[in-house]
Amino acid sequence: MAWLYLPGTEIDDPVVQAADNDYYLQRTFEGEYSVWGCYFADSLNTLDSRANLDANTVIYGHAYKNEDPDERKFTQLFKYLDPAFAEQNPYLYLALGGEDLAFQVAAVFFTDISFDYINPNPPQRDFHETVAAKNELLIDGLDFGPGDYVLTLSTCSHRYDVDKTRNHRLVVMAKLLPEGATVQDITITANPNPEKP
């Protein structure tokens, strides 16, 4: 369906999609068994072109329980918790419908699944206010809110899951940039008081 590329990581791989969100949990993009699965888009998302994007496009992938950002798959998303890394690698890319879409990192946060961050068309104001409260990063000059198209990358996290519910996630969100947007220097610092799950 698409190709996902995150500079500064090993993530440079195809994105698939099925009729449900279980099929690719332990399958490669070719449909063969793999405990680590592959990267797959939420079954509710439309993935064919920039013009037909949902407000929130969600891609899932597995992470190692140790959350070491040097491990493989979406464990690499934990790199974005480091403001210096995020500042040096603030753009994500999704090749879709023959076009390379550029997204700017807007939020990195921990949540449990009681927050419906995977809704393809979330209630805009409440959604963005919740994301802002949870955001581990402070991004200088970032305008992120209602009306933005969002790429959401989601993986499991055990960091705050004290009851071992397996319902906690690390989420990286990025906003779609306009066609022809130029790369700019961005200043990112740590949020001293993000809301935790």
User: What are the domain boundaries of the chain?
Assistant: 2-190
113-136 pLDDT per residue, tens:
999 999 999 987 899 999 999 999
Parts of the chain with a pLDDT under 70: none
The CA-atom distances, in angstroms, between 45 and each of 10, 63, 122, 150, 193 are 25, 22, 12, 12, 32
CB 117 within 8 A of CB 171: yes
Phi, psi of 68 (to 5 degrees): -75, 115
CATH of domain 2-190: 2.40.260.10
CB 41 within 8 A of CB 49: no
Q: Is residue 43 classed exposed, middle or buried when 0-12, 13-18 and 19+ CB atoms within 10 A define those classes? A: middle
98-119 pLDDT per residue, tens:
999 999 999 999 999 999 999 9
